[in-house]
Amino acid sequence: MSIVRSLILALIVLWPAPASQAADLPPSTELVCRAGEDAWLSTSLFFGRSISGGGMVSDTDWIGFVEAEITPRFPAGFTVIDANGFWRTSDGGLGREQSKVLIVLHPQKPTRNKAFEEIISVYKTRFRQRSVLKSVSAACVKF
């Protein structure tokens, strides 16, 4: 194989997908579902409730956020779970934080990713968060 062909092949393999696609689709979307099931995505957002500088996102503040930011973007439905996050701190200790996990099962559409990114941005700004963890995976669904 010539050097030029090798370079072209490498560019094709390594070239990133357009941002709207790459952010919306999990690394492996070749999911084979059973008859009667649809191949969708399962997107989860993990929201820490501790506020930088002290305090917590209250239950009232969380419900207000859900009503104003999440429900309008996902009116067909979603799930929120109370959780506790744990991680290893830089000094070797155990960090922990009360959290909320948003789970949305949805068809693969580029507009969905925009909605998740908007939710993340608003939460980070409103509640002074450094990050919101986002996880996307393929899922077979049947109603």
- What fold is seen in the domain 23-141? Alpha-Beta Plaits (3.30.70)
User: Global pTM?
Assistant: 0.78
Please give the pLDDT value at position 28. 52
Please give the pLDDT value at position 3. 38
Parse the chain into domains and list their residue ranges: 23-141
Q: Listing from the earlier edge strand, what are the strands of the sheet with 94-106?
A: 79-88, 94-106, 38-48, 133-141
pLDDT per residue as tens digits for the range 90-122: 999 999 999 999 999 999 888 889 999 999 999
Please give the pLDDT value at position 6. 35
What DSSP element (H or E) covers 137? strand 133-141
